[in-house]
Amino acid sequence: MTIVKEQDVVPFRNRVKEYAVKMGMSLVNQTKLITAASELVRNLLKYGKGGNVKIEVINQGRDNGIRLTFVDQGPGIENIELAMKDGYSTGKSMGLGLPGTKRLVSEFNIQSSVGKGTTVTIIKWKNG
């Protein structure tokens, strides 16, 4: 899904919700996943100037999960360690998006390169 404007956010959230409901994810995990997805899509729009999001259903052993991949070609993040700290923001906001997201999901991965862009991948297992 391409995300370039504010109006793209709600359809994306709805799509994530649909996938989660379809696989029978618990309501608690659904909420955590959607909260995380909302933070990351906001970052992609605000800092990355838009980009692309992929939604996939994945399997590992007996568990199923949802993997979301956020890709932008924005300015990138100079210091990821700093960006992952609670309260760090270059955008005058709460700075809880990235660290908060990491706490809400099962797996979190961020790769960024200055001048090239940022890719964030999260996984939420159905039962994890």
Ligand X SMILES: Nc1ncnc2c1ncn2[C@@H]1O[C@H](COP(=O)(O)OP(=O)(O)O)[C@@H](O)[C@H]1O
- Give me the residues that bind ligand X (CB under 6 A), please: 39, 43-44, 47-48, 72, 74-77, 83, 88-91, 93-98, 118
How many residues of this chain interact with Mg ion, rule: CB under 5 A?
2
Q: Nearest approach, Cβ of 126 to ligand X (angstroms)?
A: 26
Separation CA 77–CA 80 (nearest Å): 6
Binding-site partner at residue 44 among Mg ion, ligand X, none, CB < 5 to 8 Å by type = ligand X
Residues 25, 97, 110, 125: which binds Mg ion (CB under 5 A)?
A: 97
Listing DSSP states for 42-107 in one string gives HHHHHTT-SEEEEEEEEEETTEEEEEEEEEE-SS--S-HHHHTSTT--SSSS-S-HHHHHHHHSSE
State yes or no: residue 51 binds Mg ion (CB under 5 A).
no
Separation CA 82–CA 63 (nearest Å): 33
Q: Nearest approach, Cβ of 69 to ligand X (angstroms)?
A: 12
Q: Nearest approach, Cβ of 70 to ligand X (angstroms)?
A: 7
